[in-house]
Chains A and B, each alone.
Chain A
Amino acid sequence: MSETIATASETITLTIDGQEIQAKAGQTILQAAQKNGIYIPTLCALHATKENGLKTDIAPGTCRICTVKVNGRTMAACTTPVAQDFIVENDTEELNDLRKTIVELLFVEGNHFCPSCEKSGSCDLQALAYRYQMLSPRFRYAFSSREVNAESPKLLFDRNRCILCRRCVLAITTEDGKQLFGFTKRGDKSGIIMDEELVKNISEEQAQQAMHICPVGAIIRKEKGFDTPFGQRKYDHNPIGSETVCTTCNGEKS
C-alpha cells in the first residue's frame, strides 16, 4: 500500500461518504466506521462481543462484502488499516450493487433453502439478501453437490449452506489454541473440515458458540432446532445494518 500507516497513538482523520471521522491508528476502516456508527456490511469479519465469546475482532477477508472505495480504489474495509485523509466511499449505488452481486453469487453457489433453515431470521446472508433486495439471482445455480456431515454428537455441519467465510476456523479453538475447524482443498473444491476428535468433546457452550459464530446455517446444534420462535430471531425486528455499534463495548476492542 502506498499510504503510510500511522503509529498507534496517532489520531487519524478520514472521510466516509463525505462524513469526517476520527480513528485510531491501527484500526481498520471497518472498525473506524463501526466506532462512528457507520454501517459497512460484513460476512466474514466479526466484531468481538461478550455474546460471541471472541477476544479480538476477526477479519479473514474472505467474502469481500465489505468492499469500499478508498481514494477511488476498491479495497476490503475489514482488512485495510486507516490512514490520514483517506476518502472512503461506502454507501453508493455502485458498491451496493457489487455487494448484491456477491450475495447472489453466494446463493447460487451453495444450496440454500431458507424456509426450512434453522438460521432463517438470524442468518447474515439472508439478512443481506433482504437488505440488497435480491429478488432472483442473475446467475445460474451451480447445484453443487455437497454432503451433510452429521457424525459429531453435538454439531451438524451442512456444507450446502457454508459460504467458506473462515470464521469458524479462526474463532472456534480449544483452550490451548487448537483449531476445531480447518480448510481443505482449493478453488471450487474448497471446503471446511472438522477435527472429529476435538469436535466430539466440544462443550454445550462451545457448540452454541460455534452455531452463533457461523454467519449462516452451516453449523447447527444437533438434536435441537427452531427453539427460538419467530419474533425473537435476530433480524425479526431490526434489519441487518440498523445497529452498527456494539452495545456491550461501544465499538471498542476488548
Chain B
Amino acid sequence: MAQKITIEPVTRVEGHGKVTIHLDDNHQVTESRLHIVEFRGFERFVCGRPFWEAPVLVQRLCGICPVSHHLAAAKAMDMLVGAGDGNGLTPVAEKMRRLMHYGQIFQSHVLHFFHLASPDLLFGMDADPERRNVIGVILEHPDLAKQAVLMRKYGQEIIAATAGKKIHGTGAVPGGINKNLSLEDRDAFLNGINGNPDLSADKMIEWSEAALALLLDYHSSHTDFLDGFATFPSNHLSLVRPDGALDLYHGVIRAVDPEGKRIVNDVDSRDYLDVVEEEVRSWSYMKFPYIKKLGPKEGWYRVGPLARLNVCDFIPSPKAQAAFEQFRAYTKGKPNHMSMHYHWARLIETLHAAEMMKELLLDPDLQGTNLVTKGERCGEGIGLLEAPRGTLFHHYRVNEQDLITMCNLIVSTTNNNEPMNRAVNAAAVAQMTGKAEITEPMMNAVEVAIRAYDPCLSCATHAMGQMPLEVTLYDAAGAVVDQQRKGM
C-alpha cells in the first residue's frame, strides 16, 4: 500500500515546516516535499505606510536576522531618497551599517551552527533526541557552549551599539544612519565588553578559528557522511563585490552553474528582475525562484554560505581567505555541491565576519558625524543584501505622497526553496528507501538536511496562526491511515 508520511513540525527550525514523504508499495520513496504552510502578508501590509517606516517594519519578518531585512529595506530607501545604490552614503553611514551587518552575520551563524546544527554533529543524527539538543551540548561540552553564548552575545552587542537595540533597532534610516559609534563602545569591543577579555574582537577571531577547526576535525572522521549527505549538483547565486570579492553588504549579482561557469555575470542589483523570476506551486505558500533565462526546470539555484563561497573569487580578510583556499581546493576549484558543507562555508564566513568587525572597529570613520545624505527623490527603490542564509531582495514603489504602493520581497529561504526540497528528498531516499518502519532518527535526517540551509522558515512566507503538531499517514487513495500529534 502506498503511503504518505507527514513529519510535523520540523524541529529546531524557527517557524513551522511540514514534510511529506511519499512511499510506494515497496516502501521506496517516490517524492518528498517541504511544505511551507505559514503565511504572513508583509508585502501587503507595508503598502500604504510611509516609506521611512519600511526598514523598521519589515525586520519583524524574522527573529533571527532582523538586521538583514532592516538593512535591505534601508538600502532600497537610499535609492528612493537619492542617496545612491549602495555607494552614495557617507563613510560613517556605510561603515556603521557594515559593522551592524557583520555583527548580525556573526551572531546568526554562531546561533545556526552551535545552537541548531551542532547537536546533530556532536552526538550523531541517531542519538537520543533527549541528548541531541542545545542543552545536551551545554551539559557535555560546556566550554564550547560557553564560547557559543559569548560569541553570540558579542554579535548582539555590536548590533545594539549600531542599531540601538539587540533586536529590532532603528539604526539605518533612508540615506544613512542615526548615530555613530562612541569611543567608549569602540574600546569596549576591541578590548572586551565590560572589561571581560573573553568578549573582545581578538577572542572572536580566535574562537571562530577554533570552531572551524572543530568542524574540519569532525569532517576528517565523518567524511562520507558530510560529503555524501543530501549532495546534488545545482547552480549557485550570490552578490559579489565588482572585483569578485565576497561582500555581504553590497555587490553585483553573479551565478555559476554546477561546473562553475558563469550564468549570471555581475548584473547590477537594480536589474534583479532581469535575472530572477518566481514560480508558484499549489502545495506551498512559498514561491520558487529561478534564473529567468534558464527557466524553472534548469534555473533553480542555491544561496547562502555555500553558494557565496562557490561564486566569489576571494575573501578580503586574511584568515578567512586561507580557509577559503582550503575549501576551494577540496573540490579542486569547482563548485561544492555538498549540502552539509554549508556548515563549513558558514564557519569560514563567521571567521570573516570576526575579522571584518575588528577591521571596522579600528577605522576612525566610525566616529564621523556626517550621518545622512540625500539627493533627488525617485519613486522606486531596490535593495539587495547577503543575509546570513542567502541573498535577500527588497523592492518598493512609492507614490508622490511618500506612501508605499508596491513591495516585493524575495527572502533567503525562498531562494533556497527548491534546493531544500531536493535536500529533503535526497535525505529521504537515503534513509528511508526499503524500510518498513519510520524511526525518529530517519525523520531527524530530513530535518538535518533542512537545517544545513536554514533554521528559519517563517520569514519566507510572511505566518498566520500556529501549525498543529501532527504526523499523518495517508494511503494511496489519500485516506488517513494514521495520525499522531506532538506538543498539542
Contacts and interface: CB of A to CB of B under 8 A. Distances in A.
Q: Binding site of A, secondary structure by majority: helix, strand, loop or mixed?
A: loop
Interface size class of B (residues with CB under 8 A): 20 to 34
B268 interface: no
Contact of A151 (B49, B168, B401): B401
B316 interface: no
Interface string B3-22: 00000000000000000000
Interface residues of A, number: 18
B50 A115 contact: no
A116 B57 contact: yes
Name B's interface SS. Answer: loop
Nearest to A116: B57
A150 B170 CA distance: 22
B52 interface: yes
B164 A156 contact: no
A226 B168 CA distance: 12
Contacts of B60: 115-116
B170 A230 contact: yes
Interface stretch (A168-176, A179-187, A217-225): A217-225
A119 B344 CA distance: 43
A195 to B, nearest CB: 18
A229 interface: yes
Nearest to A228: B178
A156 B50 contact: yes
Contact of B178 (A115, A220, A227): A227
Contacts of B179: 229
A68 B53 CA distance: 38
Interface string A139-175: 0000000001011000010000000000000000000
Given A115-B168, A116-B57, A220-B50, A226 B173 contact: yes
B402 A229 contact: no
A116 B164 contact: no
A14 B223 CA distance: 84
A118 interface: yes
17 contacts: A115-B60, A148-B48, A148-B403, A151-B401, A222-B50, A223-B52, A225-B50, A225-B52, A225-B173, A225-B174, A226-B173, A227-B178, A229-B164, A229-B171, A229-B179, A230-B164, A230-B169
Interface string B98-142: 000000000000000000000000000000000000000000000
A119 to B, nearest CB: 12
A117 to B, nearest CB: 8
Contacts of A115: 56-57, 60, 168
A222 to B, nearest CB: 6
B485 interface: no
Given A148-B403, A227-B178, A231-B164, A116 B53 contact: yes
Nearest to B46: A116
Contacts of B401: 150-151
Interface string A54-90: 0000000000000000000000000000000000000
A116 B49 contact: yes
A118 B49 CA distance: 12
